Homo-oligomer: A and B are copies of this chain.
Amino acid sequence: MSVERIRLETLRHKVMTAEQAASFIQNGMVVGSSGFTKAGDSKVVLPAFAERAKKESIKITLMTGASLGHDTDGKLAEAGALSKRMPFQVDRTLRNKINAGEVLFIDQHLSESAELLHNENLPPVDIAIIEVAYIDRDGSIVPTTSVGNSVTFAGLAKQVILEINTAVPEEVYGIHDIYQAENYPHRNVIPIVAPWNKIGRKTIPLDPSKVIGIVFTDITDSPADIAAPDAKTSSIARHILEFFENEVKLGHLTDRLLPIQAGIGKVANAVLMGFKDSNFYDLTMFSEVLQDSTFDLIDSGKLSFASASSITVSKDCYHRVFDNLQRYRDKFVLRPQNISNTPGLIRRLGVIAINTAIEFDIYGNVNSTHVSGTKIMNGIGGSGDFARNAYLSIFVTQAASKENAISHVLPMVSHVDHTEHDVDILVTDIGLADLRGLAPRERAQQIINNCVHPDYREELQSYFDRACARGGHTPHLLEEAFSWHLRLGETGTMKK
């Protein structure tokens, strides 16, 4: 315990155990917790609450920034502690409970949860649980590896529990840019015109009288699993880099490109790593999560600045960054997610958005969330915030998987998260389809020619040809549109 991390001395008597803090949470409450893609989440209070829920019948609505680490979502779901969860999750146990109808889940654009709370379009937050590096002398708090929705939770929650994480150096002070737009009807401009602009405070304002408990921890974030690029992700990355190179040749972009957003995962890492040996330079990111590749690109001199809402990296990279903060602190900033992901800034900065799809169809509609239209995987996350407002909206997926029993390019997607109106470029390991300026029938032929796995090309062409024969702006055979999904369910493969 490092009581000097509570610089507002009148709060020092609030220190307690995680169990004591968790005991404040009552059945039916709405709890807002820090945590964004595993970063800066509650390490001990939520797990203590999960333990308590094993014995008591007690359920909460849990809002976070995005996903939690340390299987906390799984523990909560397992204990039956969740009635409703939003806006994102990636946990296998929780996902099963959601798909079984036992936990209600709201799959929300990550920019919007805070807006909805401020506008009272969601029930008010009873208790906030926020991981902090320390409490400043004025009671304001310094977040750790993410900002997420913590500014909103701290501002709106009736009561606040703080987890001071002593594994996070106090020197993180200054890596956050804490700003919130005004409430309606007098909202002003958000004055960011470049990724590196800092426009706010360094600490999150908090009324100390709301603090009901302070808990010390020294548990680090769950590390990101960094898989090395494989043949497919390398191929996808190569298609994207070639596309960028060609855009530069055409004079559409310079070698600096425009600010990049990259979704989490292998493909994004592979694309970013691809920049290392390219001619691109002075790159910037305006994204939601910073991964290992961000810091590799900074080290290689290719990336000048990265803006996001969290840092989710491997254990090695975590130490590289936080043991050498002085080296990186002017190279990145963490913002609230309703700033990092806000539509107007993404449009203003001209972000190039690269996100992962579960499947897409011949007309360019993208499913990011559902397996066979019904079972959720993770959620839309920030992909919609970025894709809808980007300078270029790129979606990637493998052409086929499970020994090619599943095609990820389909006659019709079984769930739409990103509509045909919002998608510019589709990429699989087979190739890239540039849909800009194309009508639906032209898009279909591009996608069939360039993206679908050869095992499925003929059947997809047949579907499209037969649909065209029947006519329509967006030709479909509704009776067959989901036949590939249905065949998979019945036979275990989409192949005839």
A interface list, Cβ under 8 A from B: 84, 98-101, 104-109, 115-116, 119-123, 181, 184-191, 193, 250-252, 254, 256, 258, 342-345, 347-350, 365, 370, 372-376, 380, 384, 388-389, 391-392, 412, 414-422, 424, 436-439, 441-442, 467-468, 470-476, 478-479, 481-482, 485-486, 489
In angstroms, how far is the closest chain B Cβ from the Cβ of A135? 31
- Indicate the member of A343, A373, A474 with the most B CB atoms within 10 Å: A474
Asked whether B252 lies within 8 Å of A119 as measured between CB atoms, the reply is yes
* Residues in chain B near residue A106, CB distance under 8 A: 437-439
A109 vs B421: C-alpha distance in the bound complex, in angstroms? 7
Residues of chain B lying within 8 A (CB to CB) of residue A474: 370, 373-374, 376, 415
Chain B residues within an 8 Å CB radius of A482: 478-479, 481-482
* Contacting pair B391 A189 (CB below 8 A): no
Q: Give the distance in Å from the alpha carbon of A106 to the alpha carbon of B345 in the complex.
A: 26
Closest 7 CB pairs of A and B: A344-B344, A374-B472, A104-B439, A416-B416, A376-B473, A184-B350, A343-B343
Expressed in whole angstroms, the Cα–Cα distance for A343 and B370 within the complex equals 27
The listed residue (B251, B384, B486) touching A120 by CB distance below 8 A is B251
- Nearest-CB residue, chain B, relative to A413: B416
Residue from B187, B188, B436, B437 in contact with A350 in the complex, judged by beta carbons closer than 8 Å? B187
A261–B364 Cα distance when bound, in Å, is 28
**Complex partner residue of A101 from B188, B189, B250, B441, CB under 8 angstroms:** B441
Give complex CA distance A370, B84 in Å. 34
A345 in complex: contacting residue of B344, B372, B415, B471, CB < 8 Å: B344
List 14 contacting pairs A-B, 8 Å CB cutoff, sorted by A: A99-B473, A101-B441, A119-B252, A122-B437, A185-B258, A190-B348, A370-B472, A374-B471, A384-B421, A384-B422, A415-B474, A419-B419, A478-B482, A482-B482
The reply to whether A424 and B471 contact each other, CB–CB distance below 8 Å, is no
Other 8 A-B pairs with CB < 8 A, given A343-B344, A374-B470, A374-B474 = A120-B250, A120-B252, A185-B258, A189-B348, A343-B343, A380-B421, A414-B478, A479-B482
Whether B479 and A187, one on each chain, are in contact in the complex, defined by CB atoms closer than 8 angstroms, is: no
CB pair B437–A187 under 8 Å, yes or no, is no
Contact, CB under 8 Å: A189 / B193: yes
Q: CA separation between A377 and B243, bound complex, in Å? A: 34
Residues of B within 8 A of A478 (CB): 372-374, 414, 482, 485-486, 489
Q: Specify which of B376, B416, B438 is in contact with A365 (CB 8 Å cutoff).
A: B416
Q: Are A374 and B467 in contact (CB under 8 A)?
A: yes
On whether the beta carbons of A122 and B373 are closer than 8 Å, the reply is no
* Of listed A84, A186, A424, A436, residue having the most chain B CB within 10 A: A436
- Name A185's closest neighbour in chain B (CB-CB): B258
**Among A104, A473, A479: residue with most chain B CB under 10 A:** A473
Whether the pair B436, A116 counts as a contact (CB closer than 8 A) is yes
Question: Given known contacts A99-B471, A388-B388, A478-B373, is B348 in contact with A344 (CB within 8 Å)?
Answer: yes
B350 and A342 within 8 A (CB): no
Q: Which residues on B sit within 8 Å (CB–CB) of A372?
A: 478
Q: Tell me which of B122, B185, B421, B489 contacts A256 (CB under 8 A).
A: B185
Q: Which residues of the other chain, B, contact A392 by a CB distance below 8 angstroms? A: 121
CA separation between A372 and B471, bound complex, in Å? 12
Of A191, A250, A439, the most chain B CB neighbours within 10 A belong to: A439
- Nearest CB in chain B: distance from A424 CB, A: 7
Of chain B, the residue at the smallest CB distance from A350 is B184
Q: Report the minimal beta-carbon distance from A118 to chain B, rounded to whole angstroms.
A: 10
Least distance between A251 CB and chain B CB atoms (Å): 7
